[in-house]
Structure 1
Amino acid sequence: MDLKAYLLERKRIVDGALEKFAPRTDGPAGEVARAMNYSLFAGGKRLRPILCMAGSAAVGGAELAVLPVACALEMIHTYSLIHDDLPAMDNDDLRRGKPTNHKVYGEAVALLAGDGLLTEAFVLMTSAEPSGTDPRSLMKVVGLIGRAAGYEGMVGGQLVDIRSEGTRVSPSVVEFVHTRKTGALINASVTAGAILGNGSEKQVKAITSYGEAVGLAFQIADDILDIEGDPEKTGKKTGGDAQKKKITYPSVLGLSESKAIQSKLVRKALGAIEQFDEKADPLRHLASYIIERQQ
Structure 2
Amino acid sequence: MDGFPERLASVAAEIEARLDALLPTGDAVADAMRWGTLGGGKRLRGFLVVESAALFDVPRDRALNAAAAVECLHAYSLVHDDLPCMDDDDLRRGRPTVHRQWDEATAVLAGDALQTEAFAILAAPATHPSGDVRAALVAALAAASGQKGMVGGQAMDIAAETAGRALTLEEITALQALKTGALIRFSVEAGAILGEADEAARTALRDYADALGLAFQIRDDLLDVEGDEDLAGKALHKDAEAGKATFVSLLGVEGARSQAEALVCQAVSHMSQFREAARPLVEAARFTLARQS
TM-score norm. by structure 1 comes to 0.94
For 2:239, the aligned partner's letter is D
Matched residue of 2:171: which SS?
Answer: helix
Are 1:130 and 2:131 an aligned pair? no
Q: In structure 2, what is the equivalent of residue 198 of structure 1?
A: 196
User: 1:150 & 1:293 partners in 2: Cα distance?
Assistant: 27
Distance 1:130 1:113, change over 3 A: closer
- Alignment partners' CA distance in 1, 2:60 and 2:212: 20
Partner of 2:25: helix, strand, or coil? coil
Whole-Å Cα distance in 2 between the matches of residues 113 and 275 of structure 1?
Answer: 41
Q: Secondary structure at the match of 1:87?
A: coil
**What secondary structure, in the 3-state scheme, does the structure 2 residue paired with 1:210 have?**
helix
The reply on whether 1:68 has 2:69 as its aligned counterpart is no
Q: Does 1:147 align with 2:143?
A: yes
Quote the residue 2:20 is aligned against: 19
Is the contact between residue 248 and residue 256 of structure 2 (CA under 8 Å) also seen in structure 1?
Answer: yes
Shift, 1:85, TM fit: 0.6
How far apart, in 1, do the equivalents of 2:136 and 2:269 lie? 26
Q: Is the 8 A contact 1:58 1:276 kept in 2?
A: yes
Residue 109 of structure 2 aligns with an amino acid whose one-letter code is: L
Secondary structure of the residue aligned to 1:16 is helix
Alpha-carbon distance in 1 for matches of 2:127, 2:81:
31
Distance in 2 between residues matched to 1:61 and 1:294, nearest whole Å: 31
Identity of aligned residues (%): 40
Contact kept in structure 2, 1:141 and 1:195, CA below 8 Å: yes
Residue by residue over 1:125-158, the C-alpha shift from the partner in whole angstroms, topping out at 9 and shown as x without a partner, is 1013435x64322211211111110000110100
The equivalent residue for 1:80 is 77
Task: Please list every run of 5 or more consecutive structure 2 residues that lacks an aligned counterpart in the other structure.
Answer: none
Distance 1:228 1:95, change over 3 A: same
Aligned match of 1:287: 285
User: 1:42: how far off?
Assistant: 3.9
Unaligned runs of 5+ in 1: none
- 1:32 and 1:135 map into 2 onto residues whose CA distance is 30
Matched, 1:185 2:183: yes
2:159 aligns to what? 163
Q: Deviations over 1:149-190 (max 9, x none)?
A: 000011010011111124222111111121111110011001
Per the TM alignment, residue 57 of structure 1 is displaced from its structure 2 partner at its CA by 1.0
Instruction: For 1:238 and 1:31, locate their aligned partners in 2 and report how far apart those are by CA, in whole Å.
Output: 29
Tell me which residue corresponds to 2:206: 208
Secondary structure in 1 matching 2:274: coil
The CA RMSD over aligned residues, in Å, is 1.4
Cα distance per residue 1:112-136 (max 9 Å; x no partner): 11000001111111013435x6432
How far did residue 240 of structure 1 move? Answer: 1.4
Write the distance in 2 (CA, Å) between the matches of 1:146 and 1:245: 32
- Letter matched to residue 168 of structure 2: S
Distance, in Å, in 1 between the alignment partners of 2:228 and 2:28 is 34
**Number of residues of Structure 1 aligned to a counterpart in Structure 2:** 290
Q: Provide the residue aligned with 2:107 in structure 1.
A: 110
What residue identity is the alignment partner of 2:21? K
- State the distance in 1 between where 2:283 and 2:165 align: 37
Q: Does 1:99 align with 2:96?
A: yes
In 2, the alpha carbon distance for the partners of 1:63 and 1:191 equals 16
Q: Which residue of 1 aligns with 2:35?
A: 38
SS of equivalent residue, structure 1 residue 59: coil
Post-superposition offset of 1:231: 1.2
Q: Secondary structure at the match of 1:128?
A: coil
Q: TM-score, normalised by structure 2?
A: 0.95
TM superposition shift of 1:101:
0.8
Q: Give the 3-state SS of the residue equivalent to 2:272 in structure 1.
A: coil
Give the drift of 1:260.
1.5
Q: Is the 8 A contact 1:206 1:272 kept in 2?
A: yes
CA–CA distance in 2 between the matches of 1:286 and 1:242? 28
What letter matches 1:145 in structure 2?
A: L
Maintained 8 Å contact 1:60/1:199: no
Comparing 120-129 with 217-226, greater Cα deviation is found at 120-129
Q: What is the alpha-carbon distance in structure 1 between the residues aligned to residue 35 and residue 130 of structure 2?
A: 34
